[in-house]
Amino acid sequence: MPNQPPAWRHNFARRSSGILLHLTSLPGDHGSGDLGPEAHRFLEFLERAGQSWWQMLPIGPPGHAPAFSPYDSASAFAGSPWLVSLTALAREGLLASPDLKPVPGLSSRRVNFAATLRFREERLRQAFASFRHRRGERGRAFRSFCDLNADWLEDFTLFAALRRHSGGKPWTDWDKEVRTRQPVALRAAGQRLRDEVAAHRFVQFEFDQQWRALREHAQRRGVGLIGDLPIFVAHDSADVWCHQGLFQLDGYGRPRQVSGYPPDRFNRNGQHWGHPQYRWAAHEQTGFAWWVRRFARVFELFDAVRIDHFLGFTRTWSIPAGAPSPRSGRWVKSPGSGLFAAVQQRLGARPMIAEDLGHVTAADIHLRDTFGFAPMRIFQFGFGSEPDSADHLPHQYPPLCAAYPGNHDNNTLAGWFQELRSAQRSRVLDYTGGQPATIHRDSIRALFASPARLVICPLQDILGLGSHARMNVPGTAHGNWTWRLESTPSTTIAKTLWCQAGLFGRSPSPRTCGQKSVSPP
């Protein structure tokens, strides 16, 4: 792309705004959103709306049933197979038109994960059968991709093949020689499952090709992509299987200590996430090599990153495996300063958002500010009773911060407002100068007018949707991550956003709307 600045030049130095929407929430006929035409249409909407950023949730393979959480992935490096566009595969000649016909069980309103994953996997395998005999430029591109990404691709594809061959058993239930990664056993497994391994390589190649096309389109539209890096990885993942010495495991590979969080504003009983805790001393001995590669990978895909559970980089809530309650945990220190120093030495300064929500300590603030990360501010929290509530009111925001009405763990603005007590509702209305029927627009206007350089709004709040559109309820395993948009937002919504972005100096090409309507470019 000639005359296009490098992706990392997207930063938080100027006033800007964007939208939070996970790819699976996009419209489409195949059970969930993906990297296909609707993702490109959404980029065009963002440009028309004067928005500079598109933030997503983690894009790796989601976790197992029943949660299917994007924060419990089988790989910290691989892309989700279910985000590969079947429409794009058909355009490539790898699928036929009848293959794209939806089947019963797929919904345009909610992601039915079981039906969607089954439908998509069948068609990905059909596409691989068509692709494996390809030669020429596409074949060369495939081989180049495999060579360039071999450091994580070979481990992940063998892991995925072994898990499928075992009927979905966790790696701790595999044969001892494979579980403990004996070289002879790994070579034999790779040879025995070479066709299955090749199929997973193909899917990751297609993900990469489609992602590159989306990223280039975003660059042309002036839109930066913000990714999400979870602090923990799933126990049943290629990462833990391949790097067992970096995690607190027993002799059978089972976690000794797992992740979670003590009681807080999200959950009065605390949260039990269940990821294996790190052996931080082992990471320090390697110069944090695995972490540096993780950050390098996320910046291969995104222009900026939100660091999930940033507080965990100063200390984590460590719960004994098998403990009956998250309350059984204790705080264990984490070497965040050394880790981020290693990342910065390798990658340089990059735009990062620190999800510093919860029991924030002086150590958290020092770590965040030392490396210049943008803190998060949540409008909804500004009307609570916690000690830090006032910090979340828009007039209190520092310039370097990422301000949100709420994030993926919050209710929507409209749903949140409906659940408030009468006195709290009055406070919100007094603060915004708004009305109950337009509280989503009034709240977002307050955010746009704030000193915060970066404002990110969930699309559900832009649309004024109620609690039915909530993405996640922390501490619950059922019914999350399923909300879908039925069609690209209208021109009227784009025009309203574009005017508001211009009015508050957040548009890439600042303009004012005045009394007469002005069409966006």
Rounded Cα distance between 376 and 400, Å, is 9
Rounded Cα distance between 162 and 247, Å, is 21
Rg (CA), the chain: 23
User: How many C-beta atoms surround the C-beta of residue 76 within 10 A?
Assistant: 24
447: which residues sit within 8 A by CB, 6+ positions away? 379, 394, 403, 404, 405, 455, 457
Rounded Cα distance between 305 and 55, Å, is 9
Tokens of residue 487, six digits: 């069609």
Question: What is the residue whose two structure tokens read 């290629």?
Answer: 238
Nearest Cα neighbor of 472 from 325, 267, 280 is 267
Whether 409 is catalytic: yes
Cα–Cα distances in angstroms (integers) from residue 460 to residues 140, 152, 453, 464, 465, in the given order: 42, 35, 22, 6, 5
Tokens of residue 2, six digits: 């000639």
Tokens of residue 212, six digits: 């590159």
**Which of 155, 355, 356, 364 is the catalytic position?**
355
The pairing of beta strand 315-320 with beta strand 257-261: antiparallel
Helix axes 491-503, 439-449, angle to 10 degrees: 30
472: which residues sit within 8 A by CB, 6+ positions away? 408, 409, 480, 481
Instruction: Output the furthest CA–CA distance in the chain (Å, rounded).
Output: 74
Rounded Cα distance between 431 and 425, Å, is 10
- Contact by Cβ (8 Å): 403, 394: yes
Q: Is the dihedral of CA 387, 311, 278, 274 positive or negative?
A: positive
The pairing of beta strand 315-320 with beta strand 330-333: antiparallel
Rounded Cα distance between 481 and 55, Å, is 15
**Which of 47, 308, 356, 442 is the catalytic position?**
308
Q: Is the dihedral of CA 269, 275, 281, 286 positive or negative?
A: negative
Tokens of residue 380, six digits: 């909804």
- Contact by Cβ (8 Å): 290, 347: no
Whether 308 is catalytic: yes
Whether 386 is catalytic: no
Cis before 61 (ω within 30): no
**What residues are annotated to the active site?**
308, 355, 409
